[in-house]
Structure 1
Amino acid sequence: MHIHVLGAAAGGGFPQWNCNCHNCDGLRKGTIKATKRTQSSICVSSDGINWVLFNASPDLLQQIQEFKPLQPGRAVRDSGIVGIVLIDAQIDHTTGLLMLREGQVKREIYCTDMVYQDLTTGNPLLNILGHYCGINHHEVATDGATSFEVAGAANLRFTAVALKSAAPPYSPHRNDPHPGDTIGVLIEEISTGKKCWYSPGLGEIEPHLPALMIQADCIMVDGTFWTNTEMIDMGLMTKTARSIGHNPQSGEGGMIEKLNEFDASRKVLIHINNTNPILREDSAERAELTKHGIEVAYDGMDIIL
């Protein structure tokens, strides 16, 4: 199984367009050791030809241009993307759908009913696509037992489970969370049995998750914040990381502590906020991750299982 990281940053990318925090300002000026990142998305393939896209970030066109297998050029109009799995309905994971409007082939969208509702009401992206290329919606079950396959993506199987989360700000049920607002997905290559757990939005390791995560050879999870009060301490927000659905890496019950409980050969953080010190390659925080065998995703990262 080939997993390619198209984008590794949280919403806004790195550097963020309007941010002058130590990280963003330092990257622009070349005073820190760090690499720019676009907004988070991965794609997965078993044969290297047909790819399943996970989320469609606002940076999708750039990401496609920088990964040639997604544009194989077999016909006048062509794409290596055979299906799109949406983890949630957040802006930074769905806006790129509008960039896929050209052509006559309907886009195959795999998402929960809650995500579909949000993307046809509060932020009707899927309705808009219906006026261009059109879509086929495939509802994703979130019981952690019902698997699905994506037509054209041979040898891959997907199992989704609901995660504790909040719906996007524009959602009609923003203050009334529902199962399926956000999911985690276990991706399996059928012929080899290799598996990857993918959850870029993960507020906590809920009791029903270890049974799926323990199966994974690669665990790719939420790397948004280093501390629970990161944004508060910088004067950028009044809410904690956990209150907006992200388990920080450090501290009691943090992602480092939780990932130490699993024996996966690869442990990777993705969806990294521009303020997070782990973006600085020579930071003490990055060294702490390395000590625990945890990697930091970057644009263009390839993982072969």
Structure 2
Amino acid sequence: HGHMGHTAGLAQLGPEAMAVEGLRIFAASDLNNLLLAMPLWSPLMKRLQLTPLIPGRALDLAPDLQVTAVPVPHRDEWGVGTAAFVIQGPNRRLLYLPDIDNWDDWPRAAKILASVDVALVDASFYSANELDGRAPVAHPLVPDTIERFAHLPTQLALTHINHTNPILDEDSAEWTAVLASGVQIAHTGQQFIL
């Protein structure tokens, strides 16, 4: 989606950094169009191969590897929507869902999570009082997410963790509670075999 934290990394592909030409980039058509229309991003976007992801339609990335965009409710200031991604490998399925406003706003949540083997889900905040002024930055809280999906056979892994979230501290009670629940805290370099 169009939030800065999810698009700023594109700058690393520009001539000032990697100087990439023709790299295939996958995004919703509306997001591609927004980036092409913005003077800051347009020169870079024209150097890339923009491939639209159509919600609900599987896209073959390689033999035995597909990705399907799944719309989810999240703040949409730019009018381009937000998607989670179901990645289908030869043997397993993974859901990558780093941003959602509220599980109650997405009636399909439990069904989608139950349909995958692994789900990396939004864990921005652990508690409502973790960050002053957080109200406009809607995200489900970690304990609520764990409680809501504990009954599913899906392996949960928490991602998109805000720097204020105590689960980043391995000495915290919150970190211990998450791991005791059987949920993983995703980390850099972690791999999931699909």
TM-score, length of structure 1 as denominator length: 0.57
Q: State how 1:24-173 maps to structure 2 within 5 Å.
A: 88-101=1-14, 102=18, 105-122=21-38, 124-125=40-41, 127-130=42-45, 134-142=47-55, 144=56, 146-150=57-61, 153-167=62-76
Structure 2 gaps of 5+ residues are none
Q: Report the identity percentage.
A: 24
What's the C-alpha RMSD, in Å, of the aligned pairs? 2.1
3-state DSSP of counterpart to 2:26: strand
Q: State how 1:247-266 maps to structure 2 within 5 Å.
A: 247-250=140-143, 254-264=144-154, 266=155
- Does the Cα contact within 8 Å between 2:110 and 2:149 map onto a contact in 1? no
Q: Deviations over 1:212-233 (max 9, x none)?
A: 221111110111100123212x
- Following TM superposition, the consecutive aligned residue runs of length 4 or more in structure 1 with deviations greater than 4 angstroms are none
Structure 1 gaps of 5+ residues are 1-87, 168-173, 233-237
3-state DSSP of counterpart to 2:33: helix
Cα distance in 2, alignment partners of residues 292 and 273 from structure 1: 20
- Does the Cα contact within 8 Å between 1:164 and 1:245 map onto a contact in 2? no
3-state DSSP of counterpart to 1:96: helix
1:204 to 2:102 alignment: yes
Equivalent pairs, count: 189
- Does the Cα contact within 8 Å between 1:140 and 1:148 map onto a contact in 2? yes
Cα distance in 1, alignment partners of residues 20 and 72 from structure 2: 34
- Does the Cα contact within 8 Å between 2:36 and 2:45 map onto a contact in 1? no
Find the counterpart in structure 2 of residue 170 from structure 1. Answer: none
- Alpha-carbon deviation of 1:291? 2.0
3-state DSSP of counterpart to 2:95: strand
For residue 286 of structure 1, the aligned residue among 175, 183, 191 is: 175
1:181 to 2:81 alignment: yes
Cα distance in 2, alignment partners of residues 118 and 303 from structure 1: 32
- Does the Cα contact within 8 Å between 2:58 and 2:66 map onto a contact in 1? yes
User: Comparing both structures, which one devotes a greater share of its residues to helix?
Assistant: 2
- Alpha-carbon deviation of 1:183? 0.5
- Alpha-carbon deviation of 1:163? 1.1
3-state DSSP of counterpart to 1:185: strand
One-letter amino acid of the counterpart of residue 134, structure 2: K
Q: Deviations over 1:13-37 (max 9, x none)?
A: xxxxxxxxxxxxxxxxxxxxxxxxx
1:303 to 2:189 alignment: no
Find the counterpart in structure 2 of residue 245 from structure 1. Answer: 138
Find the counterpart in structure 2 of residue 218 from structure 1. Answer: 118
3-state DSSP of counterpart to 1:157: strand
- Alpha-carbon deviation of 1:108? 1.1
Cα distance in 2, alignment partners of residues 287 and 104 from structure 1: 42
- Does the Cα contact within 8 Å between 1:111 and 1:140 map onto a contact in 2? yes
